[in-house]
Amino acid sequence: MDDRAIHSEHRPWGFYEVLSDTETHKVKRITVYPEKRLSLQRHKKRKEHWFFVSGQGVVTLDKHEIEVSSGVSVDIDYNMLHRVENTGTHNLVYIEVQLGEYFGEDDIERIEDDYGRAQK
């Protein structure tokens, strides 16, 4: 089986690789570096399923925090505030499956961001 990424993008918190990108879904492998986190965000046009494959961290879903590690999965509905943080000493890696009507990066509404990317 060929698991090479279609493309990858580097960010201040780590990087992601797009494994599949179709009209009905998008699949990414996301790597978060130790002591880094993504922005607190939400999406209007997609929902997501995250399956963690290595490392440990904390996922924020609205006002709830969930500890995650290998084998744990999390579902994020439309408009749900969410964030992932690597709380371990090794990379946190998870597979993200996006479902909905649109999968572009411009469907990210950032509420808080450690890297100055939140909407004003």
What is the pTM for the complete model shown? Answer: 0.91
Angle ∠(97,99,105) on CA atoms, nearest 5: 80
**All domains in the chain, ordered by first residue:** 7-112 (2.60.120.10)
* pLDDT, tens only, 82-113: 999 999 999 999 999 999 999 998 898 999 98
20-31 confidence digits (pLDDT tens): 999 999 999 999
How much is the CA Rg of the chain, to the nearest whole Å?
Answer: 13
* Confidence at 119, pLDDT banded by 50, 70, 90: low
Percent pLDDT > 70 in the chain is 94
